[in-house]
Structure 1
Amino acid sequence: MKLNRDVISLAIKQWFYQWYRGVKEFARYGVHLRFLLPWLWLKLSYLLDSPYAVSRRYQRQQQAADLYVYGETPLETLEEIAERSSVKAADHVFELGAGSGFTAIWLHGVKKCRVTAVEQVPLFCWRLLRTVKRMGLSAVSVRCESYLQTSLSEATVVYLYGSNLEDAVITELAERLAELPQGVRLITISYPLTDFVGQETFVVTDQFSAQFEWGEAEVFIQERI
């Protein structure tokens, strides 16, 4: 019974946090109409079913050891990251582990760049894809597949918010990213890719602390050399 109360309490806290953050995002970015309408449509998809709940159900189905691995990048933090990594309208950003898709909507609607959202959780993909189709977002692609298999060849910027990934997964992904052309920018949270590849493949061009839901973390901006 105590476990059920704890889960219910956590769900209520996450629901209120989601909508508190939504009010702040609306106030800050609502002037960008190409962001606002898709954001509102997608937000309504999670009115009674938060992204955290969707992730927990999926992790339970996968019999994962940790059900509480989901997190999102606050849009104010994403704005700082995008500015410091010089994301422009001409870029094609690949978001690896796109989750609910709000960051993809922001990158397209505010920074006006092409976005490919790569995500494994089917419900996340379905809701984001429905939003993309409904709003006619031709510059946003949704791939419901593993980023360890998906093609990354079109990326000019790669964003990975994967603080909870196992070292073996990061190493495999880093080896794939090492195959990208020179000049591609890579953004990772909590660790640089240089910790996981043996050769001189990436250079860290910027490092700074940023605020996430669970506290501060280091952001590493790297370039393929």
Structure 2
Amino acid sequence: MRLTLSVWIFALLLFISVSAVAKRPSQTQSVAPLEVYSIKVDYGNSQILVEGAGLDPTSASATLAGVALNLNPASTDSDLLFDYSTGVAEVVNSSGNYIVVITTADGSFTTSAFIPFGLVYNPPSGDPCPCQGEWDYFSNADSPYGYAELTPYCSQDSTDFVTVQFYDTSVGNYWVSWTSWDSASSTGMCAQYIDGPTRNLTSEGQFDACADYLRSIVEVWGSGGSSCLY
């Protein structure tokens, strides 16, 4: 029996349709890969901050130089906060490169992180300014590990921004301690560069505490005459 042209066309289309269905890949839910963007040390509060994506705080764990870190409950899937204790400080006791391993249910990430200064375990102080512990650490450490003996390069003081900055020309370190507050949005920040994370302030009272503390640093070390860079 001779098949008509229309029947052949229909059979060909049916074959293509079945083949396409057979070759269509199965769809599975994608999982965000574990990525690490930066690792920062908060010396004043004895913490390690890991910034990245897909970090999954429900399953995250980490080691620094082979010693376990303690996951802080404030961690999120983009910021993991780990507390370190005397065990870590005893191993990471000088500047150098140390192996950091971040592990979650979705995978593991290993990298070598440069720690510029040996760690010292400082129990949380509970100061109203969340940066005060870190400022204490560096303001009491001699150069190149801090700015205890340095005169400020500059200082700036206003109702919503206070900074005091030190420049150690012998080693090329530029220390910036600062805090700011935006009354319109009721948000603020404080930080220590180098070397620490920027911290969010939750109240104007916290900003006042940070500003008063920086003013005490200016009062103790004097004030430089140059314009501030930040």
User: What TM-score do the two structures reach when normalised by structure 2?
Assistant: 0.25
Q: Quick check: which one's strand share is greater? A: 2
Structure of higher CA gyration radius: 2
User: What TM-score do the two structures reach when normalised by structure 1?
Assistant: 0.26
Higher relative contact order (CA 8 A, sep 6+): 1
